[in-house]
Amino acid sequence: MRLLIMGDTHIPNRAKTISQHVLNFIDDFSPHAILFTGDACEPGVLMFLEKLAPLHAVRGNMDHMDLPKMLSLDFGQKILLIHGHQFGRGNYEELTRYASGHNILICGHTHKQEHFEKNGLLVINPGSITGAETKGLKPPATFTTIIIKAGVEIQEYEVKEDGIQKQGSKVGN
């Protein structure tokens, strides 16, 4: 199972588009699903993404669309998808408590790409796919993929002007 994890586009207020490099990557990666962590800000972003692969999206604090606050999904691993603002910026202690009973917590809001284990959960934050400004900082544009087989393979990517660059990776249970 190939999953593409992205979010925090903030189109059109803080970013204009998703990079063509990302769209080419999606075409090549051929995900079984896209998991979107919220803050699309524009319904057209989600309408476009759902043409590329089945889309599972949650509402971020900047979204004014009828989207769920969280989704519990099962792709061979039980995943909780949530924006994360409900518990404060980067409050992984509370988020992991809320995600009890899941194997993986996927969240956004901080625009900081990271993955780690906490309270028995694999936590994945893909960052901002457009590199949208947050708290006066301009983070790099990032996204994450996971491949679920017998275990979970995580791959982090950064979007550069000249293409996509692999960052870190991890194989876990």
Q: 75 falls in which pLDDT band (50, 70, 90)?
A: very high
Return the pLDDT at 173.
59
Is pLDDT above 80 for 141?
yes
Share of the chain above pLDDT 70, in %: 98
Is pLDDT above 80 for 102?
yes
**Listed residue (149, 159, 97) closest to 123, CA to CA:** 97
DSSP alpha helices (H): ranges in 64-111? 92-98
Distance separating alpha carbons of residues 85 and 61, to the nearest angstrom: 7
Is pLDDT above 80 for 172?
no
Is pLDDT above 80 for 170?
no
Residue in the structure block whose two tokens are 């491949």: 147
Q: 2 falls in which pLDDT band (50, 70, 90)?
A: very high
Task: Quote the tokens at residue 170.
Answer: 């991890």
Tell me the per-residue pLDDT of 11-55, one tens digit each, with 9 for 90 and over. 999 999 999 999 999 999 999 999 999 999 999 999 999 999 999
pTM of the model: 0.95
Distance separating alpha carbons of residues 91 and 157, to the nearest angstrom: 23
User: Domains in the chain, ordered, with CATH?
Assistant: 2-132 (3.60.21.10)
Stretch 86-106: mean pLDDT: 93
